[in-house]
């Protein structure tokens, strides 16, 4: 006779079941399959193509900076557009590989894409936006218009 202790998943009480069989039930086997590394590891190998890259946005008195983490790409993979006050950054990559041998043909293909859009404030000088890609980071420089830049404090004398 074996004792099976079930640990709570949601903080409920622990139950103890006595079972004469040493085989797990189908439901516990199925749950364990997807809770173990096998289930999540297997599922993580499928790229859904909808992952959005992380973005950092910085601002100082003269400009805004966007930093987007997109490793493994080339400069030519990016499409950056400004339409009215909307900045769109997108990428689409399709890869195909085929290997033929006498007894088999193996084809592998991959697809990934993303699109991020940002509404620009009226203070951005859209004609002077620049982008640079280096070491997996796409940096976009968004300068502010001259009239939007913060001026230093000025003392006014009373006459």
Contact 88, 115 (CB under 8 A): yes
Q: What whole-number distance in Å separates Cα of residue 108 and Cα of residue 72?
A: 18
Residue 50, C-beta contacts closer than 8 angstroms, at least 6 positions apart: 113, 114
pLDDT tens track for 97-139: 778 777 777 777 777 888 999 999 988 999 999 999 999 999 9
Contact 106, 27 (CB under 8 A): no
Q: Give the per-residue pLDDT at 94.
A: 81
More confident residue, 8 or 96: 96
Question: Based on the number of CB atoms within 10 Å of its own CB, is 138 exposed (0-12), middle (13-18) or buried (19 or more)?
Answer: buried
CATH architecture for the domain at 55-148:
Sandwich (2.60)
Q: Where are the domains of the chain?
A: 2-44, 55-148
pLDDT tens track for 134-158: 999 999 999 998 887 777 788 889 9
The pTM of the full predicted model, rounded to 2 decimals, is: 0.57
Closest CA to 126 of 88, 90, 60, 82: 82
More confident residue, 123 or 28: 123
């Amino acid at each position: 006779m074996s004792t099976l202790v079930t640990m709570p998943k949601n903080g409920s009480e622990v139950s103890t079941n006595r079972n004469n069989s040493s085989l797990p039930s189908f439901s516990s086997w199925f749950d364990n399959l997807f809770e173990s590394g096998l289930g999540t590891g297997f599922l993580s190998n499928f790229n859904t193509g909808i992952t959005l890259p992380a973005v950092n946005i910085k601002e100082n008195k003269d400009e805004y900076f966007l930093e987007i983490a997109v490793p493994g790409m080339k400069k030519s993979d990016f499409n950056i557009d400004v339409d009215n006050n909307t900045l769109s950054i997108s990428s689409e990559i399709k890869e195909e590989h085929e290997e033929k041998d006498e007894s088999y043909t193996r084809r592998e293909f991959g697809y990934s894409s993303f699109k991020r859009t940002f509404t620009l404030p009226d203070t951005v000088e859209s004609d002077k936006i620049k982008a640079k890609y280096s070491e997996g980071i796409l940096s976009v420089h968004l300068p502010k218009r001259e009239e939007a830049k913060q001026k230093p404090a000025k003392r006014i004398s009373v006459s």
